[in-house]
């Protein structure tokens, strides 16, 4: 009881002193707010990017690539092989045939709206089945493409990022003029960063005779994957590499997410070191200006431990305010902010920063750790200083 | 016959500065009875504040022993010493050492936070102590709203609120004008005579020393002379 009374009394005294040292106290608050805001913002970029790629795809969809290819960019499948693949067990069938789409994936240079710089925009040639196998596909403006024409529909994030993707406008890509006829959504997945055109028209335009990049296959059920994979492996005419769609995009996110996360922590740690020095300086100054008060309390019989704890509580309080401020800034400025970066296939992936509760908590935990480190040494100094020396204000 | 409250037995105090040893007190012997009012005088550096700090349990001797009542305070740990101070000693400092953010009432209540008294009882006792020093109507004022003399009265109220047997006063009038200093010294006399407090006071001021029952002069860490008031 005594100790708690002591801690409360000294802590309240310290906290009431803050307005008298508002400038110095703000150094801690602002310093730590900056660290947390930057850390949370960068990590929210990583989490948003990861969430976009991990939410892409469906476990019952499979991407079939040429054997040895790990991405659509380097793959090519002939029509004959595609037809053979769709005849295998496990492939879902509809009244009009197997649910499988031949698609071609290329990149095109377009200028970004944000800074007028050229960037790689992913362009996907699709066939009629592409829409049947993707239940999440939805036209949100305009209409779908008419096959056989130089028409284009764009994911909403691609339209947001690149110049010229406006409904009704003509867009020159790879020497051909495409009319933007619609915008689509796919539940925030990576496809929203792409523009889609008729696969046949695209391949003719590219003068590409080697076949499509890939075959997207919808399975009867997600658990039919192994059976389907085995059937392809058992066919000597086929040399394919198959991968579940969810795995494909998830793997593409890994290196970029790790890069952003490491960058975030790197910047965060550098800033945190600066913030710790600011906190140390402020708390040493706070303890120094109150050394006589602290010594007086100790002379009256207050223990060293309550002194240490109360100084720590003060530092933690300031750090927590900084942490909450930084987290709020990160949330207010960046949550839902759309950005783009290179995905796994050297093309732009647009995604929303995701300032999640977990990231906010992580930021606030960081701020508390900085407050602890910043408060600990000054607190120990305050508690260890000989009372008789401190009473003389030395 | 009064019993001995303070027994300082062959106490030496040496401070260390780097490799240098600085002796401040040398084999000092002193005895103070219960209910005494002792003034310690001497030039700067004579060791009087060091002796006061040792008697008040703020510091510990390098050699020798100090007994206050039945307690050998030179043998206590820092934690035990803090606990002992809270129960047995009231401190009055030259610059009052009040906490600026607290009202007079809250400043006086501080030592009672170290007890198990209820909030109401703490408040009641603090008001009683403020009444003793004549400041019951200033209980809600902060130190910045009080005169120097009033601040020292609040500090004295804080020193007596937990009813310690011993008051140690380090230049209690050193920051006050003559008239106000005399008021404070008269208050200390009242506490000594009417409330039975044993007081040890360090002062440079011979006039202040006249308010004590007796004075001791220190010079270079040794007792030089004694005189009764």
Its CATH architecture, for the domain B35-61+76-221, is: 3-Layer(aba) Sandwich (3.40)
Share of chain B above pLDDT 70, in %: 97
| DSSP H helical ranges for B56-147 | 78-88, 104-109, 119-132
How far is the alpha carbon of B31 from chain A, nearest alpha carbon, in Å? Answer: 23
B53 touches chain A (CB under 8 A): yes
Give the tens place of pLDDT for each residue, A213-260: 999 999 999 999 999 999 999 988 888 989 988 888 777 777 777 877
With bands split at pLDDT 50, 70 and 90, how would you rate the model's confidence at A4? confident
A11 touches chain B (CB under 8 A): no
Residue B162: CA atoms inside 13 Å, Cβ hemisphere, count?
Answer: 28
B16 touches chain A (CB under 8 A): no
- C-alpha dihedral over A179, A184, A189, A193, to 10 degrees? 20
Q: Taking CB atoms and an 8 Å limit, are B111 and A13 in contact across chains?
A: no
Q: Taking CB atoms and an 8 Å limit, are B114 and A302 in contact across chains?
A: yes
Residues from chain A contacting residue B95 (CB–CB below 8 Å): 292
pTM exceeds 0.80, yes or no: no
Residues from chain B contacting residue A297 (CB–CB below 8 Å): 99, 110
pLDDT recorded at residue A257: 75
Q: Taking CB atoms and an 8 Å limit, are A6 and B87 in contact across chains?
A: no
CA–CA gap between residue A320 and residue A334 (Å, rounded):
20
Q: Is the model's pLDDT at B228 over the cut of 70?
A: no
CA–CA gap between residue A249 and residue A49 (Å, rounded):
11
A18 touches chain B (CB under 8 A): no
pLDDT recorded at residue A342: 58
Q: Is the model's pLDDT at A344 over the cut of 60?
A: no
B79 touches chain A (CB under 8 A): yes
Closest to A299 (Cβ–Cβ): which among B58, B78, B99?
Answer: B58
Residues from chain A contacting residue B78 (CB–CB below 8 Å): 304
Closest to A357 measured CA to CA, from A331, A326, A329 = A331
Q: Taking CB atoms and an 8 Å limit, are A300 and B102 in contact across chains?
A: no
Task: Name the residue ranges covered by the structural domains of chain A.
Answer: 2-54+253-391, 69-238
Mean pLDDT of B184-202: 96
How is residue A386 annotated by DSSP? -
Q: Beta strands A151-155 and A195-198: pairing type?
A: antiparallel
Task: Name the residue ranges covered by the structural domains of chain B.
Answer: 35-61+76-221
Q: Is the model's pLDDT at A381 over the cut of 80?
A: yes
Q: Is the model's pLDDT at A29 over the cut of 80?
A: yes
ipTM, two decimals, is: 0.93
Closest to B114 (Cβ–Cβ): which among A2, A13, A20?
Answer: A2
Range of A10-24, A60-74, B69-83 with top mean pLDDT: B69-83
CA–CA gap between residue B39 and residue B204 (Å, rounded):
9
CA–CA gap between residue B221 and residue B15 (Å, rounded):
12
Mean pLDDT of B76-100: 93
pLDDT recorded at residue A310: 84
Q: Is the model's pLDDT at A365 over the cut of 90?
A: yes
Mean pLDDT of A324-332: 93
Interface of A with B in 145-204 (CB under 8 A): none
Closest to A301 (Cβ–Cβ): which among B85, B102, B116?
Answer: B85
The 10 Å CB-count burial string (b at 16+, else e) for B17-45 is eeeeeeebbbebebebeebbbbbbbbeee
Give the tens place of pLDDT for each residue, A119-151: 888 999 999 999 999 999 999 999 999 999 999
Q: Taking CB atoms and an 8 Å limit, are B111 and A293 in contact across chains?
A: no
Contact yes or no for A206/A106 (Cβ under 8 A) = yes
Mean pLDDT of A281-294: 78
φ and ψ of A32, to 5 deg: -75, -35
Judged on CB neighbours under 10 Å (0-12, 13-18, 19+), A286 is buried
Both tokens of B219, joined, read 């010079």
Which of A296, A308, A383 has the highest number of chain B CBs within 10 A, making it the mutation to test binding with B?
A296
Residues from chain A contacting residue B102 (CB–CB below 8 Å): 13, 16
Q: Taking CB atoms and an 8 Å limit, are A301 and B79 in contact across chains?
A: no
pLDDT recorded at residue A371: 86
Q: Is the model's pLDDT at A391 over the cut of 90?
A: no
Residues from chain B contacting residue A9 (CB–CB below 8 Å): 110, 113
Radius of gyration, alpha carbons of chain A: 30
Closest to B79 (Cβ–Cβ): which among A1, A299, A303?
Answer: A303
Q: Taking CB atoms and an 8 Å limit, are B93 and A302 in contact across chains?
A: no
Q: Is the model's pLDDT at A394 over the cut of 70?
A: no
Share of chain A above pLDDT 90, in %: 35
CB pairs under 8 A between A and B: 68
Kindly report which listed range (A263-267, B77-81, B185-189) carries the lowest average pLDDT score: A263-267
Interface of B with A in 118-157 (CB under 8 A): none
B76 touches chain A (CB under 8 A): no
Q: Is the model's pLDDT at A27 over the cut of 90?
A: no
pLDDT recorded at residue B1: 62
Give the tens place of pLDDT for each residue, A88-125: 999 999 888 899 999 999 988 889 888 888 888 899 99
Chain A's closest residue to B119, CA to CA, is A5
Kindly report which listed range (A203-207, A276-280, B56-60) carries the lowest average pLDDT score: A276-280
Q: Taking CB atoms and an 8 Å limit, are B58 and A9 in contact across chains?
A: no
B102 touches chain A (CB under 8 A): yes
A17 touches chain B (CB under 8 A): yes
Give the tens place of pLDDT for each residue, A31-40: 889 888 888 8
């Amino acid at each position: 009881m005594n100790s708690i009374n002591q801690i409360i009394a000294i802590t309240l005294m310290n906290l009431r002193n803050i307005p008298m040292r508002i400038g110095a106290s703000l150094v801690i608050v602002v310093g730590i707010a900056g660290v947390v805001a930057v850390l949370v913002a960068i990590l929210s970029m990583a989490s948003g990017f990861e969430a976009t790629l991990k939410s892409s795809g469906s476990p019952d969809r499979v991407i079939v690539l040429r054997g040895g290819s790990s991405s659509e960019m380097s793959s090519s499948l002939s029509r004959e092989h595609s037809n053979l693949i769709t005849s295998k067990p496990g492939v879902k069938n509809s009244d009009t045939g197997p649910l499988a789409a031949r698609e071609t994936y290329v990149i095109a240079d377009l200028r970004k709206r944000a800074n007028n710089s050229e960037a790689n925009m992913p362009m996907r040639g699709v066939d009629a089945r592409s829409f049947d196998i993707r239940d999440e596909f939805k036209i949100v403006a305009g209409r779908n493409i008419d096959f056989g024409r130089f028409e284009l529909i764009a994911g909403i994030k691609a339209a947001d990022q690149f110049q010229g993707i406006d409904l009704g406008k003509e867009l020159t890509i790879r020497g051909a003029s495409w009319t933007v006829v619609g915008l689509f959504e796919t539940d925030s997945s990576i496809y929203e960063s792409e523009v889609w055109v008729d696969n046949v028209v695209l391949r003719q335009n590219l003068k590409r005779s080697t076949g499509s990049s890939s075959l997207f296959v919808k399975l009867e059920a997600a658990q039919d994957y192994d059976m389907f994979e085995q059937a392809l492996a058992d066919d000597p005419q086929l040399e394919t590499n198959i991968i579940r769609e969810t795995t494909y995009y998830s793997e593409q996110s890994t290196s970029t997410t790790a890069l952003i996360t490491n960058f975030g922590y790197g910047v965060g740690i550098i800033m945190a070191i600066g913030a710790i020095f600011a906190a140390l300086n402020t708390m040493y100054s706070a303890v120094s200006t109150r050394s006589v008060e602290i010594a007086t309390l100790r002379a009256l019989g207050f223990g060293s431990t309550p002194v240490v704890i109360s100084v720590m509580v003060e530092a933690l309080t300031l750090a927590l305010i900084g942490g909450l401020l930084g987290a709020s800034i990160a949330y207010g400025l960046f949550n839902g902010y759309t950005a783009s970066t290179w995905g796994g296939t050297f093309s732009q992936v647009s995604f929303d920063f995701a300032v999640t509760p977990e990231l906010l908590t992580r930021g606030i935990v960081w701020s508390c750790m900085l407050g602890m480190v910043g408060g600990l040494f000054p607190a120990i100094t305050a508690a260890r200083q000989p009372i008789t020396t401190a009473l003389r204000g030395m | 016959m009064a019993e001995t409250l303070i027994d300082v037995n062959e106490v030496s105090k040496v401070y260390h500065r780097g490799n240098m040893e600085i002796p401040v007190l040398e084999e000092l012997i002193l005895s103070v009875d219960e209910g005494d009012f002792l003034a310690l005088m001497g030039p700067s550096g004579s060791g009087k504040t060091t002796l006061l700090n040792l008697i008040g349990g703020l510091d510990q001797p390098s050699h020798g022993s100090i007994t206050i009542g039945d307690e050998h305070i030179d043998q206590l740990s820092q934690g035990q010493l803090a606990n002992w101070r809270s129960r047995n000693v009231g401190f009055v400092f030259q610059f009052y050492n009040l906490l600026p953010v607290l009202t007079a009432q809250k400043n006086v209540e501080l030592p009672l936070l170290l007890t198990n008294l209820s909030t109401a009882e703490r408040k009641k006792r603090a008001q009683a102590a403020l009444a003793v020093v004549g400041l019951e109507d200033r209980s809600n004022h902060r130190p910045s709203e009080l005169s120097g003399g009033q601040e020292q009265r609040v500090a004295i109220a804080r020193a007596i609120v937990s009813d310690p047997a011993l008051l140690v006063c380090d230049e209690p009038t050193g920051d006050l004008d003559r008239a106000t200093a005399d008021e404070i010294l008269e208050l200390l006399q009242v506490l000594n005579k009417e409330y039975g407090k044993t007081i040890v006071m360090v002062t440079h001021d011979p006039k202040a020393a006249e308010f004590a029952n007796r004075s001791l002069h220190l010079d270079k860490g040794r007792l030089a002379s004694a005189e009764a008031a």
